[in-house]
Structure 1
Amino acid sequence: MPLILQRLGRLPVVLLAAFFCLLPGQAAGLDMVYRSEIRPLLDQFCFECHADEDTEADINLDSFESVADIRRNTKVWLKVDDMLSSRQMPPKKADKPSDGQRAKLQQWVHSLLLEEARARAGDPGRVALRRLNNDEYNYSVRDLTGVASLNPTREFPIDG
Structure 2
Amino acid sequence: MAAGVNKVILVGNLGKDPEVRHLEGGTTVARFTLATNDYYKDKSGNRVERTEWHNIALWRDLAEVAEKYLRKGQQVYIEGRIRTRQYQDKDNQTRYITEIVADELTMLGGRPTTDQSTEPASQTAVPETQTFRQEPELDQLPF
Richer in helix (by share)? 1
Normalised by the length of structure 1, the TM-score is 0.23
Richer in strand (by share)? 2
Higher relative contact order (CA 8 A, sep 6+): 2
Normalised by the length of structure 2, the TM-score is 0.25
